[in-house]
Structure 1
Amino acid sequence: MSWWCFPFERLIGALQKINTNDHIRGEMEATIIKSVTRTANIRRWLRRPDCPEAVRQLKVMFDNANFSPSTTHPGNATIIYRPSPAGRPVGGVIQEIRNVNTSGIQVRVHPFESLPASLYDPFSRYPHLSAKSYSSTLREESDMITLDAIVAHAACFDYTHNRTVLVNLYRD
């Protein structure tokens, strides 16, 4: 009760898709739990005040490496971002990532069309859920942004009447 289960359901879905090659006597489970435990320990260590600055810089690099264009990995391409520094966050799909030597990394994003005013967003009643409905279609025009403009990854689910819901997956 009173616990958001989406991360666990997402993990269960990922686990169900793993090819086990009929190794069911605990080998796979032990490998998975070791991996999850190591990741949690690394995250905890990176948040400690005595973590060396050089290692913290590596964390920034790893955080920036988690995005991919929709052609490579659609699951990592759906994001919440700010089209302008003072703008409100919107949902979109990464189409291209460019490494521009002089200005760093640029990301081309196609934003989702806004939900028409005639359609009700059922998630607007639950602001703590961090979910918002959009149209399922992407705009023709794209935004060029930097990695700093990305707020978070988003889980995307298409549901009824040409609607898509995006859930902000920001962890902090």
Structure 2
Amino acid sequence: MTTARAEAFRDYVDFWVKHLRTLFPHTREGIARPNIHAIGHIYDFLLLFGPVLSWWCFPFERLIGAVQKLNTNDHIGGVMESTMIKTLVRTANIRRWLHRPDCPEAIKQLKVLFDKSFVPANATSQTKEFVEMKGTRRAYASFDGVNFSGVDTHAGNANIFYRPSPNQTPVAGQIQWIENKPTPDGTILHLHVQPYERLSKHLYDPFLRYPHFSATTYSSTLSASANIITLDAIVAHAARFDYSLGRSVLVNLSRH
């Protein structure tokens, strides 16, 4: 995120607000909604915290959705919440005792036994980031805390922006499959990626008008040839939306 991009966002929002009642006459009779005011503060958050992907609330919304699906045996109105809070408090009390210099020896011994049975949540991983697997293909690979996969495993994780070679401009493509490549120094990962075809010259890319928005229109067709890359050639995931005339817009989902 740059200051120029944040300022461009603010200018676009100001323009939209000023012309809102012209574009949507039915809004002339109503009062301004809180969202109109709130959107103006996003400019400040972009400067403070970076791209919206880094701090939006969708992960928490997804977690709330998962919690809502839990079986409560019809115990509602505080019973389940009380149980969760009591468990949290008990866990916090145990942690507090373990950090005290006068922690009883019995509790210390129980911690030793517990750690042998269960890996602590804050333990440093002792495993390598890429574990060698049998066979030549794998379903997914993790890099810098992000999962990537072939299109047959998860289509959403297969769309990426990447550099076909170190000095080339990033392009959009789709991971077809991930290969375990044996070498004398161990196994490395090769990603077989088909790039999206460039948009035909007689078709219009409406996103060219917005240089500060990381969206590019490509043909929905993939190139017949594939690039073989390593994970460090990936720039970011890409979100894909197909629209008219065989066009697909791909948005760079970089967190930087």
Q: Give TM-score scaled by structure 2 length.
A: 0.47
Stretches of structure 2 that go unaligned for 5 or more consecutive residues are: 1-38, 85-123, 130-141
- Structure with higher helix content: 2
> Which residue is equivalent to 1:80?
161
One-letter amino acid of the counterpart of residue 144, structure 2: D
1:166: how far off? Answer: 0.6
1:20 is displaced (CA, Å) by 2.6
User: Please, which runs of 5 or more residues in structure 1 have no aligned partner?
Assistant: 31-52
The answer to whether the 8 Å contact 2:151/2:157 transfers is yes
Question: Number of paired residues?
Answer: 145
CA contact (8 A) 1:64 1:147 kept: no
- Specify the SS of the correspondent of 1:129: coil
Q: Which moved more, 1:89-98 or 1:103-112?
A: 103-112
Q: Secondary structure at the match of 2:144?
A: helix
RCO higher in structure (CA 8 A, sep ≥6): 1
Q: Computing the radius of gyration over CA atoms, which structure comes out larger, 1 or 2?
A: 2
Structure 1 match to 2:251: 167
* Alignment CA distance shift 1:91-1:15 (3 Å): farther
- What is the root-mean-square deviation in Å for CA atoms of aligned residues? 3.6
Q: Say which SS state the counterpart of residue 123 (structure 1) adopts.
A: helix
- Structure 1 residues 128 and 75, CA gap change in structure 2 (3 angstroms): same
C-alpha displacement of 1:6: 7.6
The alignment status of 1:66 with 2:147, answered yes or no, reads yes
Indicate conservation of the 8 Å contact 1:70/1:94, yes or no.
Answer: yes
Displaced runs of 4+ in structure 1, greater than 3 A?
2-19, 21-27
> Which structure has more strand as a fraction of its residues?
1
C-alpha separation between the residues in 1 aligned to 2:220 and 2:170? Answer: 17
Structure 1 residue 148: deviation in Å? 1.4
Verify the 8 A CA contact 1:97 1:106 in the aligned structure 2: yes
| TM-score, normalising length: structure 1 | 0.68
Percent identity for Structure 1 against Structure 2:
46
- Mapped to 1, the partners of 2:221 and 2:165 lie a distance apart of 21
Q: Residues of 1 paired with 2:191 and 2:52: CA distance?
A: 27
Counterpart among 212, 220, 245 of residue 128 in structure 1: 212
